[in-house]
Amino acid sequence: MNLDFNRRLSIAPMLDCTDRHERYFLRLISKNILLYSEMVVSTGLIHCKDTGIFLEHEDCELPAVLQLGGSYPNELAEASKLVERAGFNEVNLNCGCPSDRVQNGNFGACLMKDKNLVADCFKAMQDAVSIPVSIKCRIGVDEFDSWEFFRDFVGTLADAGCRIFIIHARKAWLKGLSPKENREVPPLKYEFVHKLKAEMPHLNISLNGGIKTLDQVEEQLKDLDGVMVGREAYENPWFLRDADERIFGSTDTPVSSRKALLEAYLPYVEKEFAKGTPATILTRHLYGLFTGLPGARKFRQVLSQGAPKTKDAAEMLRRAMDFVVEE
C-alpha cells in the first residue's frame, strides 16, 4: 500500500463540482494538489453498465482519489476494486456528508454513529485493494459532539488499520440544517483535529473546513499532514496559482496568467465538445476564475447565455475571454 504521494494540499469532493472536467482544469493550475472526485455511491457503481460514467479520467489528473458512499462492506469492497482498476491512487469512504439523500441511504455523516460498521466497511475495502483507503469524517454528529466521541470514532478505525483521515472540523446536524448550512453554521473546532494529531502522531491527518488562503494552509501545515480546501477552490480557483511553489516547494509554475490557463484548457474543450460533452458542462467550472477583474461579469454572462446553444464551445470561450482585462 503506497502512502507516499503528497497530501499537503487537496481539493474536497464536491457534488456537481469536482467532476473529471473540473479536475482536469485544476490540474492545469497545480501539478501537485491531490484531487478528489465527486462522491460515487457504491451500489450505483457496481450495478452500472457503463462504469466509465463514474470512473473516466485523464492520466494527468493523477494523483487523484475517488470517494465512495455506502454502508455495505461487500458492496464497498467490490466498488473499491473497480476504483483501483480504473487507476485512481486512493479510495475514500464518505462519513461526513449530511444530505437527506445520503442519510436515506444510511451512509455519509450518519455512519459516525456506528463506528463498528465503519470499521467493517474500511477493512472490507482495504482487504480488497492494494491502494490506500482513507476516511473523510466530521468531528461529531448531532448531540454526539464531545472530544471523547470523536477520539473513540477515529481510534476504532485506527485499530482497524486506517491511517489516513480527512476531517471536516465541524460537527454535522442531520436534521434542521441544509448541506450548505452544515458547511457554515456548526462552529469550526480546529483544536479537535490538532489534538488528535498530537495524540496519534502515527496517523496522517488532514484538516478541512473554512480554509480560504494559502497563508491559512501554511499555518495548519505546521502541525498537520495536510489541508483540504473546498468551496474556495471552486469559486475562486486562481488562489491556488502559487500552491505548487508555496506548499510543495516546486519552482515549475504551470501557468503564468488566468488567460494562459484558459488557453491551456481550450484543446481539452475542443476534444470533449467534439465527443458530445455539452458546453455547459465544460464551462460551468470557470465562472469564478476572473472574480474581481474588469469584465468578469461579462465573461460569466457570455458563458451562461452562450453555452446552452453554442456550436463551438472553444470559440465561445475565446470570445468570453476577450471581455476580461487581466492585470
Catalytic residues: 97
Give me the residues paired with residue 67 across strands. Answer: 39, 92
Q: What DSSP element (H or E) covers 20?
A: helix 20-29
Neighbours of 188 (CB within 10 A): 17
Show Cβ contacts of residue 139 under 8 Å, excluding neighbours closer than 6 positions.
Answer: 145, 150, 167, 168, 169, 170, 171, 189, 192, 193
Q: What DSSP element (H or E) covers 191?
A: helix 190-199
Q: What is the SS3 assignment for 126?
A: helix
Residue 223 C-alpha cell reads as 502541525
Burial 279-309 (b: 16+ CB within 10 A, else e): bebbbbbbbbbbbeeebbeebbebbeebbee
- Cα gap 298→20, rounded to integer Å: 26
The amino acid at 225: D
Helices and strands counted in the chain (H then E): 16, 8
Residue 74 C-alpha cell reads as 461487500
Name residue, grid cell 474536497: 12
Task: Check: CB of residue 238 under 8 Å from CB of residue 258.
Answer: yes
